[in-house]
Amino acid sequence: MVRTTVSVIKADVGSIAGHYKPHQKMLDLAKTILSEAEKVGLINSFYVYSVGDDIGLVLTHYKGENNPEIHALSWKVFKELTEKVAKPLKLYAAGQDLLSDAFSGNIRGMGPGVAELEFEERQSDPIVVFAADKTEPGAWNLPLYKIFADPFNTAGLVIDPKLRDGFVFEVLDVIEDKKVRLKTPEESYDLLALLGTTGRYCVSKVYRADGEPAAAASTNRLSLIAGKYVGKDDPVLIVRAQSGFPAIGEILAPFATPHLVAGWMRGSHNGPLMPVSCREAVISYFDGPPRVIAMGWQISDGKLVGVDGIEPADLFADPFWDYSRSIAAQLAIYMRTMGEFMPARLDPSEMEYTTLPQVLKKLESRFERS
């Protein structure tokens, strides 16, 4: 049986009005390049989206995860968007996430974020792709725990026999670059002990107890790749839904009470993650607050099937989420009352911008033993 792969590869290669939104010409050029790849059979289908200043490519194909041709295609898209649109139009931060000039076969570690999930199609296979701006991969830890391990969120864990055996979380230590697998519900407390440290431990994959792939997240940290802080890696997440996986409504539910995530203005603040429709996927107040969109498709014979052609179900467009957006706005304004005081401002080790070394240097001679 042929296995289908969903690859979501994203990068910020330039935007208009500062870090607000990419230019329409960039999205159009990405579509043109991917249409060619679809015609020659390299990919089966594709969708191009933007969230904040990031552009994401959702690709379906039969080539498996970490495939050099698929990664080379994505690299080519981002390179051309940079050279043919972002730079000529002097867009803001043109080419920002392309950290190297030489492509070596795998786009991981070169700047763009990658989440990939390969699986054998079921009778019917719904998926949700989440994409966030102004935050980092650890932002998925809390919702992923709720979706796959919290029986107060996911009713199926309690009342659906197909979910009762639980899930296995693959957790990456992004500082030491090693990973560990933990099984829920048996090892829930150990898992939570790690996942609470969102800047270091990130869920990279989730499997059902029988080994069936359930979710994949992007986990690279630009800062660690570049050796110095060059920004938070606005993350993406793919989740399979229904019939033996959590239902779409259980997958969306954790986002109803916006949790605080690291990122926001200058990648240096904690702010609420606001669920928004694809149309509202831009940032404004204090360069935020951090946003998340949720796009739903069916995967059918290796292709994305949306509500209208390739257009995804825009899962946070429902008026229900106005309530959550209002909570996020209130939390955002509240967090700003603290200015540059922790924990509204991040710990120095997590800040994208800091003047602390200069201040300490200036004051060096004036510090005395206490």
Active site residue 125: no
Q: Taking CB within 5 to 8 Å according to partner kind, which of ligand F6R, Mg ion, none is near residue 232?
A: ligand F6R
Residue 22 CB, shortest distance to Mg ion, in Å, is 9
Residue 233 CB, shortest distance to ligand F6R, in Å, is 10
Rounded distance between C-alpha atoms, residue 14 and residue 86, angstroms:
6
Rounded distance between C-alpha atoms, residue 157 and residue 170, angstroms:
19
Measured at the CA of 159, the angle between CA 156 and CA 162, to 5 degrees, comes to 65
81 makes contact with ligand F6R (CB under 6 A): no
Distances in whole angstroms, Cα of residue 59 to Cα of each of 26, 36, 74, 159:
17, 13, 9, 34
Q: Taking CB within 5 to 8 Å according to partner kind, which of Mg ion, ligand F6R, none is near residue 133?
A: Mg ion
The binding track of 225-264 with respect to ligand F6R, each residue x by CB under 6 A or -, is: ------xx--------------------------------
266 makes contact with ligand F6R (CB under 6 A): yes
Residues 6 or more apart whose CB falls under 8 angstroms from that of 130 comprise 140, 236, 237, 239, 292, 293, 294, 295
Q: Which range, of 59-67, 88-96, 114-122, 166-174, touches Mg ion by CB under 5 A?
A: 88-96
Rounded distance between C-alpha atoms, residue 205 and residue 17, angstroms:
35
The size of the chain, in residues, is: 370
Instruction: Output 267 or 272, the one with its CB closest to ligand F6R.
Output: 267
Which one of residues 21, 61, 134, 205 is an interface residue with ligand F6R (CB under 6 A)? Answer: 134
Provide the 10 A C-beta neighbour count for residue 337. Answer: 8
Residue 345 CB, shortest distance to Mg ion, in Å, is 19
Rounded distance between C-alpha atoms, residue 43 and residue 62, angstroms:
8
Rounded distance between C-alpha atoms, residue 86 and residue 190, angstroms:
45
Which positions from 169 through 198 interact with ligand F6R, judged by CB under 6 A? none
Rounded distance between C-alpha atoms, residue 117 and residue 95, angstroms:
27
Active site residue 229: yes
Q: Taking CB within 5 to 8 Å according to partner kind, which of ligand F6R, Mg ion, none is near residue 52?
A: Mg ion
Active site residue 97: no
Per DSSP, the residues of 124-183 read: SEEEEEEEEESS-GGGGHHHHHHHHH-TTT-THHHH-TTTTT-EEEEEEETTTTEEEEEE
Residue 263 CB, shortest distance to Mg ion, in Å, is 9
Q: Taking CB within 5 to 8 Å according to partner kind, which of ligand F6R, Mg ion, none is near residue 54?
A: Mg ion
Q: Taking CB within 5 to 8 Å according to partner kind, which of ligand F6R, Mg ion, none is near residue 289?
A: none
54 makes contact with ligand F6R (CB under 6 A): no
Total number of residues that touch Mg ion (CB under 5 A) = 8
267 makes contact with ligand F6R (CB under 6 A): yes
Backbone angles phi, psi at 162, to 5 degrees: -75, -15
Per DSSP, the residues of 200-241 read: TEEEEEEEETTS-EEEEE----HHHHHSS-------EEEEE-
Which positions from 274 through 303 interact with ligand F6R, judged by CB under 6 A? 287
Please, what's the b/e burial string for 302-313 (b: 16 or more CB within 10 A of its CB; e: otherwise)? bbbebeeebebb
Which one of residues 234, 250, 314, 350 is an interface residue with Mg ion (CB under 5 A)? Answer: 234
Q: Taking CB within 5 to 8 Å according to partner kind, which of ligand F6R, Mg ion, none is near residue 128?
A: none
Which one of residues 116, 118, 125, 133 is an interface residue with Mg ion (CB under 5 A)? Answer: 133
Instruction: Output 234 or 250, the one with its CB closest to Mg ion.
Output: 234
Task: Name the catalytic one among 21, 63, 232, 234.
Answer: 232
Catalytic (active-site) positions: 12, 229, 232
Binding residues for Mg ion, per CB under 5 A? 12, 19, 52-54, 93, 133, 234
